Amino acid sequence: MKITTLLLLPLLFLACTGDPNKQMISSPENANTIMFELVDGVPTYSVMHGTTQVLNSSKMGFEFKNQPAMRSGFEIVNVEKTSFDETWEQVWGEKRYIRNNYNQLSVTLQEQEGEQRKIEIQFRAYDDGIALRYVYPDQQEDSLVIMNELTTFNLADDGTAWWIGAYQDNRYEYLTTVSKVSELDTVVTPLTIKSDNGLSLSFHEANLVDFASMTLARTGNTELEADLVPWADGDRVKTDGSFTTPWRTLQIADEPGDLITSYLILNLNEPNKLEDTSWIQPHKYLGIWWGMHIGKYSFWESPIQGATTSNAKMYIDYADQLGIDHLLIEGWNKGWTPAWYENAMHMFSFTEEADGFDLKEVTDYAKEHGVQIIGYHETGSNLINYLKQIDDGMGLYQEMGMHDVKIGQVGSRLNMKEWHHGQFGVNYYRYVLEKAAEYQLTVNFHEPIKDTGERRTYPNMMAREGARGMEYNAWSDGNPPSHTATIPFTRMLSGPMDYTPGIFDIEIEQGYEGRDVHTTLAKQLAMYVVIYSPIQMLADLPEYYVDHPAFQFLQDVPVDWEDTKVLNAEIGEYITTVRKDKYSDDWYLGSLTNEDPRTYSVSLNFLEDGAVYEAQIYADAEGIAYNDRPEEVVISTKDVTSDDSLELNLAPGGGVAIRFAKK
Ligand code: NOJ
């Protein structure tokens, strides 16, 4: 289905306010309004949500290398207003049909003196937020280096911010800090804010192509400024003389849950470029993986090597028995050593098998059992080495009939030099994604750049890490219960995450002393609904799934959805999400909490009117907590209709998962 109405309505300058230096655009339902104003030649903009001021007058512009800055001395030479309304279908996703409906204001400025350069600023007003970007046309220069973007976001109110500091060696893999906006450091996006005026806000960017990522630096009390991640030589963005920036986005919601069901980031990306998507399959997967992280297996050749042909066959047998049709195998190739993760331009081979592993034998065996093998490329951030081998490495997977690859970039700098998030990294990740599409491979990036919605354009971009995932529980103090109650409102706003849930052995018997996953078992189930990904790992050692009654939920829960709703939510505290299966009439509910227990009643009015569903409920046993008998889960069933409400009781660090099976 594709319904499109496109209205192009060029208007005269004077049309809206009478003052040619003031231009205004509101969203289709008037939820948000952007006001552009040229004040003594200086471009500024401000944003309102209804009658609430969100951004006060905020500046715009650029500084360049060996060229005068562009920040003042402008006149308006053209103004255009357009409207757009389209409903498009996702190849896979958390919602099948997405409406892209906005009003756009485009203002072209020209310097009155000097080189008389032009720049166009495009503003889009959506009912769920606003976006702006710059288009700098080809004029005079053959190359132009951006040294600074001067866009500010001058928040009208202080508020509570959930943030991760920018420029850290482990990229986005930190716990979230909570502070007032007025105490922020330089932070990565998405940056989520609960404003003192009650609004939920998220700053991010969309369609990050051939540009540096934007971080946000606090430059005034509650004023933030774009801060572009530099190259090692200090340049921010190298261009051929013209450029289009990514969209700078601000999602604006009355309730925190509405940030999650906003599709503004996807709407600001280009439509799907892949004609044939039949080989792209959302899936659940087992892995020869958790065993390495808990120290049961090694990544490298050793007496406890994880990736051996016999282990792989054993895992394929488990996959077959458990009804899971994908298996990730890490450490199958040459190059792994006990020091593989050190920053040392480590040399991996992407075609040579580790001793004791036979890729052809394993993929043939997998095929016989209806299982697809997921390949693994750990680059160690030595991209010089990887890019020399990328065609051979991906070609090998294609030859083996494989369709999925996970790609790691462990290391604090790419090639021991560049930030993952600078323009160099942005271009690298895009190149790899396009290359993977050529070989009909879907991609799961670990140590990725942040998601800015590229899955719309390249639906082989399945999921990525980009936050502390489950593995942190295996070998560090781990993720506290509040972490998974926070990331749905922060990291997850950018796109799907390969969090790798599903640990049933909560206290990690076979792992390092004193490590556990800081949730109840029911919360592990709830994560499959709350933390969206089209690929979901069943991360535990498979023996913990065999004959476990709660495994039924992992078998049932889909990875591709018709629709998503958030029933209740408070950032960092709790969330209840429901999603409708794309291929049946069933709905699924996941609810999870931080360290605090919760009891709430949720209305089932999302179910189809008049229909009866069997609610298959997986709940925390009474009196347990994430650190006290966390594995006790109570499974019950009950017939319900859309007129009913259900009371949910969540233990400290707990959760509840429900399948509503239509009768
Ligand atoms: C870190 C990744 O997050 C993890 O999934 C992977 O197993 C290791 N790197 C090894 O590449």
Mutate to test the pocket of ligand 1, among 378, 444, 445 (most ligand atoms within 8 A of CB): 378
Mean pLDDT of 502-517: 97
The pLDDT of residue 236 is above 80: yes
Q: What is the pLDDT of residues 192-208, one digit of tens each?
A: 999 999 999 999 999 99
What proportion of the chain, given as a percentage, has pLDDT over 90? Answer: 96
Distance 50 CA to ligand 1 centre (A): 45
- Of all protein residues, the one whose alpha carbon is nearest to atom 8 of ligand 1 is 408
Q: 15 CA to middle of ligand 1, Å?
A: 56
Judged against a pLDDT cut of 50, whether residue 519 lies above it is answered with yes
Give CA–CA dist 35/218, Å, rounded: 22
Of 471, 497, 500, best ligand 1 pocket probe by most atoms within 8 Å of the beta carbon: 471
The pLDDT of residue 8 is: 42
pTM of the predicted model as reported, rounded to 2 decimal places: 0.97
Report the candidate in 547, 544, 546, 582 with the shortest Cα–Cα distance to residue 563: 582
Task: Return the closest-CA partner of residue 569 out of 605, 606, 594.
Answer: 594
Per the rule left: phi > 0, alpha: psi between -120 and 50, beta: everything else, 362 is alpha
Average pLDDT rounded to a whole number, residues 4-11: 43
The DSSP line for 363-375 is HHHHHHTT-EEEE
Determine contact, residues 611/554, Cβ cutoff 8 Å.
Answer: no
CB-ligand 1 contact for 378 (6 Å cutoff): yes
Bridge partners for 443 per DSSP: 405, 461
Angle between helices 423-438 and 383-399 (to 10 degrees): 20
pLDDT tens, residue by residue, 383-392: 999 999 999 9
pLDDT for res 140: 78
Measured from the CB, is residue 498 less than 6 Å from ligand 1? Answer: no
pLDDT band at 2 (very low <50, low <70, confident <90, very high): very low
Q: Give the per-residue pLDDT at 141.
A: 81
**Buried-state track 543-555, b at ≥16 Cβ within 10 A, e below 16:** ebbeebebbebbe
Q: Catalytic site residue 471?
A: yes
Query: What is the rounded CA–CA span in Å between residue 57 and residue 165?
Result: 26
- In the structure encoding, which two tokens stand for residue 346, read together? 């480590």
Predicted local confidence at residue 16, as pLDDT: 52
Tokens coding 608: 């189809």
Which residue's C-alpha comes closest to atom 6 of ligand 1? 408
CA–centroid distance, residue 471 to ligand 1 (Å)? 8
Q: What is the dihedral of CA 346, 352, 356, 359, to 10 degrees?
A: 130
Containing 432, the helix (H) or strand (E) segment is helix 423-438
The percent of residues in the chain predicted with pLDDT above 70, rounded, is 97
Backbone phi and psi for residue 107, each to the nearest 5 degrees, phi listed first? -120, 125
Specify the CATH number for 2-267; select among 2.60.40.1220, 3.40.640.10, 2.70.98.10, 3.40.50.970: 2.70.98.10
Q: List the alpha helices (DSSP H) in 137-194.
A: none
Any ligand 1 atom below 6 A from CB of 465? yes
**Maximum distance among all Cα pairs of the chain, rounded to whole angstroms:** 79
Which residue, 178, 64, 191, 185, is CA-closest to 115? Answer: 64
| DSSP element (H, E) containing 45 | strand 42-49
Query: Residue 299 CA: which ligand 1 atom is closest?
Result: 10
**What are 68-125's pLDDT values in tens digits?**
999 999 999 999 999 999 999 999 999 999 999 999 999 999 999 999 999 999 999 9
289 C-alpha to ligand 1 centroid (Å): 8
Fold annotation for 278-466: TIM Barrel (3.20.20)
Q: Which residue matches tokens 């496109």?
A: 6
Q: How far apart are the CA of 174 and the centre of ligand 1, in A?
A: 16
- The per-residue DSSP string of 576-612 comes to EEEEEESSSS-EEEEEEESSS-EEEEEE-TTSPTT--
The pLDDT-based confidence of 11 (bands split at 50, 70, 90) is very low
Asked, colleague to colleague, whether 278-466 and 498-663 share their fold, the answer is: yes
CA nearest ligand 1 atom 3, residue: 446
Torsion of CA 349, 354, 360, 363, to 10 degrees: -100
For residues 634 and 619, the answer to whether their CB atoms sit within 8 Å is yes
From the CA of 61, how far away is ligand 1's center (Å)?
Answer: 40
Residues 6+ apart with CB under 8 A from 308: 356, 357
Beta-strand (E) ranges in 156-268?
Answer: 159-163, 177-180, 191-195, 200-206, 214-218, 223-228, 237-239, 243-244, 247-253
Distance 152 CA to ligand 1 centre (A): 36
Summarised one tens digit per residue, pLDDT across range 118-153 is: 999 999 999 999 999 999 999 978 899 999 999 999
Query: Cβ(173) to ligand 1 under 6 A?
Result: no
Closest by Cα among 247, 254, 103 to 189: 247
Q: What length does the chain have?
A: 663
Answer yes or no: are the C-beta atoms of 645 and 602 closer than 8 Å.
yes
Q: What is the pLDDT of residues 363-376, one digit of tens each?
A: 999 999 999 999 99
- Distance between CA 551 and CA 538 in Å, rounded? 10
Q: Which residues pair with 518 in a beta bridge?
A: none
Banded model confidence at residue 437, pLDDT cuts 50, 70, 90: very high
Q: What is the enclosing helix (H) or strand (E) of 303?
A: none
Write down the residue that tokens 């994560």 correspond to: 527
pLDDT in tens, 594-633: 999 999 999 999 999 999 999 999 999 999 999 999 999 9
Tell me the CA distances in angstroms from 572 to 163, 258, 486, 560, 599, one per residue in order. Answer: 12, 15, 4, 26, 16
Bin 478: left if φ > 0, else alpha if -120 < ψ < 50, else beta: left
For the chain, helix (H) and strand (E) counts, in that order, are 11, 37
**For the CA of 406, the nearest atom of ligand 1:** 5
Residue 15: pLDDT above 50?
A: no
User: What's the pLDDT at 343?
Assistant: 82
Flag whether pLDDT at 4 surpasses 50.
no
CB-based contacts of 589: which residues, under 8 Å, 6+ apart?
529, 567, 576, 577, 578, 602, 656, 657, 658, 660
Q: Which of 471, 614, 622, 632 is catalytic?
A: 471
Identify the residue whose C-alpha is closest to ligand 1 atom 2.
Answer: 446
Query: What are the structural domain ranges in the chain?
Result: 2-267, 278-466, 498-663
Cα dist from 207 to 39, 321, 458, whole Å: 30, 41, 11
Asked if pLDDT for residue 10 goes beyond 70, the answer is no
Q: Are 374 and 328 in contact (CB under 8 A)?
A: yes
446 lines ligand 1 (CB under 6 A): yes
Q: What is the pLDDT of residues 316-351, one digit of tens each?
A: 999 999 999 999 999 999 999 999 988 889 999 999
Report CA(447)–ligand 1 centroid distance (Å): 8
Class of domain 498-663: alpha beta
Helix, strand, or coil (residue 267): helix
User: Is there an atom of ligand 1 within 6 Å of 410 CB?
Assistant: yes
DSSP single-letter state for residue 47 = E
Q: To which residue do tokens 């552009």 refer?
A: 36
